[in-house]
């Protein structure tokens, strides 16, 4: 019986494991992940905006591991694709016939000077990107009285690239509801060069920020926070690449931390060693197969695919990966198999009750699920999709390999 190891029990790992079990192939499948809880992270934006409790996003990991799949609750410390082995903290070297690498990514608040404590126990500082910090966002919404509110975006790839501005739009809407908007100056401070990577949706979002009176500051990378004096310092790059530091006062600072692949991925032969994708896992963008190690596949946030790192991307990646992995094990060519087209999706919440559903693939090609309507418009129907339908799709279908 062929041995499959899956590193990571997040969205990708559970989905792939369930699909492999449904495949009818006789496989020994082990998922390696020390986490005892599993989170529906897309809802953390709504938790931060006071629309849900964070506990509602949480499930026990043991309840999600598919029947017949072994769960090894340990940390991976090394991948050796030359020996077809994964080394864990306690069990040592584990052999595989095929490996699926999907450990997600890691948050690095500590790379911002002054934010060394990842729980962010600092007045006015918050983030929706961590279960430990997400409920503090609503606390800051509630306590804000006046001044500058800064919403940051780092100079690294991140998961759900739209989330830093979703929570900003909901902050604006909350202040409007509570008659405090006139007392606030809201800034979107991004290390990027535009508000969103896909031009069609960037145009729509530019209209949103103008309507809301939100200030944008691009090429601004947060590098230091003086939490005592509430000062945020950015490294600012100009068009010629010259850099200088600028400092802003804040009453509220929403931080999107720098992110990276786990260290054991960065140190492995599977990762890119140079270029803009350095440290992220190298795999074919259509087949998800490693170019050097044909029995290794990558899925989810850890992979260097040139598309947004979202759960929606995983939903489209998983069936392609599983088909290719099974065909590889059986000695069949992958040439005529369905290719992953880079599909990803981001429900961009712009108001309480309004969403722009951004769906796109590689090279910024639009891939709408509803091609008969203009998906660059803010819609209540897409709000219902975000808040009511997608959680059901996640827990009842994706987590069972059926989406």
- Name 121's Cβ contacts closer than 8 Å, sequence gap at least 6: none
User: Are the C-beta atoms of 156 and 258 separated by less than 8 Å?
Assistant: yes
The token pair at 401 is 């390999």
CA distance 189 to 212: 16
Q: Which residues contact 315 (CB under 8 A, 6 or more apart)?
A: 15, 398, 403
Residue 151: HSE in the Cβ half-sphere, 13 Å Cα cutoff: 27
Segment holding 252, helix H or strand E: strand 252-254
In angstroms, the Cα distances linking 260 to 156, 167, 351, 374, 375 are 7, 22, 30, 34, 31
Cite the active site residues: 160, 346
Report how far apart the first and last C-alpha atoms of the chain are (Å, whole number).
27
Structure tokens at 102: 């999907």
Compute the CA torsion angle 107, 108, 114, 118 (nearest 10 deg): 40
């Amino acid at each position: 019986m062929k041995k499959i190891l899956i590193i990571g029990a997040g969205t990708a790992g559970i989905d792939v494991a369930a699909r492999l079990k449904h495949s009818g192939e006789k496989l020994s499948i082990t998922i390696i992940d020390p986490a005892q809880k599993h989170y529906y992270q897309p809802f953390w934006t709504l938790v931060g905006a006071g629309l849900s409790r964070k506990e509602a996003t949480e499930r026990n990991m043991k309840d999600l591991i598919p029947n017949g799949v072994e769960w090894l609750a340990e940390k991976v410390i090394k991948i050796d694709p030359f020996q077809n082995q994964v080394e864990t903290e306690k069990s040592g070297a584990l052999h595989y016939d095929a490996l699926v690498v999907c450990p997600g990514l890691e948050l690095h608040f500590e790379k911002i000077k002054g934010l060394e404590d990842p729980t962010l126990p600092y007045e006015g500082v918050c983030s929706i990107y961590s279960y430990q910090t997400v409920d503090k966002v609503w606390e800051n919404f509630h306590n804000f009285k006046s001044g500058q509110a800064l919403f940051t975006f780092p100079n690294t790839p991140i998961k759900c690239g739209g989330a830093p501005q979703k929570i900003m739009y909901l902050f604006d809407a909350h202040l409007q509801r509570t008659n405090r908007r006139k007392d606030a100056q809201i800034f979107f401070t991004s290390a990027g060069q535009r508000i969103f990577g896909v031009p069609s949706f960037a145009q729509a979002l530019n209209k949103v920020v103008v309507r809301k009176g939100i200030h944008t500051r691009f090429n601004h990378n947060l590098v230091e926070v003086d939490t005592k004096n509430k000062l945020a310092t950015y490294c600012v790059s100009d068009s010629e690449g010259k850099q200088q530091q600028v400092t802003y006062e804040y009453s509220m600072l929403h931080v999107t931390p720098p992110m990276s692949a786990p260290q054991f991925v960065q140190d492995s032969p599977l990762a890119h060693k140079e270029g803009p994708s350095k440290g992220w896992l190298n795999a074919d963008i259509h087949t998800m197969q490693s170019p050097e190690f044909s029995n290794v596949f990558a899925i989810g946030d850890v992979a260097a695919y040139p598309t947004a790192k979202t759960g929606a991307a995983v939903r489209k990646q998983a069936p392609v990966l599983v088909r290719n992995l099974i065909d590889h094990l059986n000695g069949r060519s992958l040439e005529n198999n369905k290719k992953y087209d880079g599909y990803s999706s981001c429900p961009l919440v712009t108001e309480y009750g309004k969403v722009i559903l951004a769906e796109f693939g590689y090279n910024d090609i639009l891939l709408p699920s509803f091609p008969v309507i203009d998906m660059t418009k803010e819609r209540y129907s897409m709000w219902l999709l975000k808040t009511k339908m997608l959680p059901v799709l996640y827990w009842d279908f994706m987590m069972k390999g059926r989406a």
